[in-house]
Amino acid sequence: MRDAVTNLIKSYDISGRYLDRNAIDSLKAYFESGTARVAVATMISANAASIVKEASAKLFEQVPELLRPSGNAYTTRRYSACLRDLDYYLRYASYALVAGDMNVLNERVLQGLRETYNSLGVPIGPTVVGIQIMKDLVKEMASESGVADTSFVDEPFEHMSRDLSEVSV
């Protein structure tokens, strides 16, 4: 797993360059947002169960056919798998928030996920909706806890949504 600092230094090292103004500005922005990143990750950790519970309730309200017979969350096993997956996305989003880098999502979450979902018949559209709902909930909680600029919260959730959405459903 890499972070924003490691990736930046690696790219400059590979090209044999000193850190320039753009690199320094990028590092400065990352470190300035560090306290907020850790605060949001701590908030996610402390509230993960309630975030997943509220997100799933909103998801099932928006896409009620998931809970109907033959829906992908109809049986207890499928319902539990849906909650497990939402929790999984939330946990890895918190890692990416702290790292300031989305590689952890690619390496640990997204590689092969679309193919797995497609082979199991899991609808990707509702998954993306659930991820977006969690993003909104986390941003709202972060704002309420005093985080002034919550724009960095978008990145991991948008990254997962974008990557999953690249497949026609």
- Please indicate, yes or no, whether residues 82 and 157 belong to a single structural domain of this protein: yes
Q: Which amino acid does the sequence have at 80?
A: S
DSSP state letters, 85-114: HHHHHHHHHHHHHHHT-SHHHIIIIITTHH
- Please indicate, yes or no, whether residues 61 and 114 belong to a single structural domain of this protein: yes
- Please indicate, yes or no, whether residues 71 and 145 belong to a single structural domain of this protein: yes
Q: Is residue 169 part of a domain?
A: no
- Please indicate, yes or no, whether residues 85 and 99 belong to a single structural domain of this protein: yes
- Please indicate, yes or no, whether residues 10 and 86 belong to a single structural domain of this protein: no
Query: What is the token pair recorded at 146?
Result: 């005093």
Q: Per-residue pLDDT tens for 6-47?
A: 999 999 999 999 999 999 999 999 999 999 999 999 999 999
Alpha-carbon distances of 152 from 4, 34, 35, 136, rounded to whole Å: 13, 10, 12, 12
- Among 90-104, 109-123, 144-158, which stretch is predicted with the lowest mean pLDDT? 109-123
- Please indicate, yes or no, whether residues 152 and 123 belong to a single structural domain of this protein: yes
Mean pLDDT of all residues in 141-154? 96
State the total domains in the chain. Answer: 2
Q: How far apart, in Å, do the first and last CA atoms of the chain sit?
A: 30
18: left (phi over 0), alpha (psi -120 to 50) or beta: beta
Range of the domain at 145: 34-164
